[in-house]
Amino acid sequence: KPMMTMLKQGRAFGLGVLLATQNPVDLDYKALSNIGTWWLGRLQTERDKARVLDGLEGAAASNRSGFNRKNMEELLAGLGSRVFLMNNVNDDAPTVFHVRWVMSYLTGPLARGQLKRLMDEKREKIAAIKAAAPTPAAEAPKPAAPRPMRPRLPRGADDFFIPAGAGVPADEINYVPAVIRIGEVRYLDASKGINGSETTAMINKIESESGNIEWSQTLELPDGLTVSQLGKEPVAGATFSELPQPLLDQKLWSSLNKELVDWLYGNHHCTVFKSPLTGLFSRLEESEGDFRARLVHAAHEARDQKVEDLRKTYEKKIKTIEDRLARAMDTVADQKAQASTAKINTAMRIGSTILGAILGKRISSTAGRGAVSGASRAWKESRDVARAKAKVEDYEEELEAIEEDCEREIEALKAAMDPMSESLETIRLTPLKKNCSSRSVGIVWMPYRVNPEPQLGAAW
Q: What gap in Å lies between CA 122 and CA 124, rounded to an integer?
A: 5
Q: What gap in Å lies between CA 226 and CA 201, rounded to an integer?
A: 8
Whether 306 and 403 share a structural domain: yes
DSSP 181: E
Whether 179 and 305 share a structural domain: no
The H-or-E segment that residue 131 falls in is helix 112-132
- Residue 278: which of 418, 161, 383, 150 has the closest Cα? 418
**Final residue in a domain of this structure, among 98, 123, 142:** 98
Whether 257 and 321 share a structural domain: no
Residues (pLDDT < 50) of the chain are: 135-143, 367-368, 371-372, 374, 452-455
Cβ burial of 459 (10 Å; 0-12, 13-18, 19+) is buried
Whether 257 and 317 share a structural domain: no
Q: What gap in Å lies between CA 447 and CA 176, rounded to an integer?
A: 6
Give residue 232's pLDDT: 92
274 within domain boundaries? no
Q: What gap in Å lies between CA 130 and CA 136, rounded to an integer?
A: 11
Give residue 298's pLDDT: 74
For the entire predicted model, the pTM comes to 0.47
CATH of the domain at 56: 3.40.50.300
**Final residue in a domain of this structure, among 98, 117, 138:** 98
Give residue 17's pLDDT: 79
DSSP 213: B
395 within domain boundaries? yes
Q: What gap in Å lies between CA 204 and CA 179, rounded to an integer?
A: 5
Whether 419 and 348 share a structural domain: yes
Measured in degrees and rounded to the nearest 5, phi and psi for residue 140 equal -65, 140
Whether 310 and 420 share a structural domain: yes
Q: Report which residue type is found at 263.
A: W
236 within domain boundaries? yes
119 within domain boundaries? no
Torsion (CA) 80, 82, 83, 87 in degrees, nearest 10: 130
pLDDT in tens, 91-141: 888 899 988 887 776 666 677 778 788 788 777 777 777 666 554 443 434
For residue 454, is the peptide bond before it cis, meaning its omega torsion is within 30 degrees of 0? yes
Whether 258 and 374 share a structural domain: no
Whether 371 and 439 share a structural domain: no
What would you report as the CA-atom Rg of the chain, rounded to the nearest whole angstrom? 45
Whether 394 and 368 share a structural domain: yes
**Final residue in a domain of this structure, among 50, 80, 98:** 98
DSSP E strand stretches across 70-127: 83-88, 95-98
146 within domain boundaries? no
Domain residues for 249? 158-269+432-458
Q: What gap in Å lies between CA 270 and CA 427, rounded to an integer?
A: 8
Q: What gap in Å lies between CA 203 and CA 458, rounded to an integer?
A: 15
Give residue 78's pLDDT: 86
- Burial call 180-214: b when 16+ CB within 10 Å, e when fewer: bbbbbbebeeeebebeeebebbbbbbbebeeeebe
Domain count along the chain: 3
CATH of the domain at 301: 1.10.287
Whether 221 and 304 share a structural domain: no
Give residue 34's pLDDT: 72
324 within domain boundaries? yes
213 within domain boundaries? yes
Whether 221 and 340 share a structural domain: no
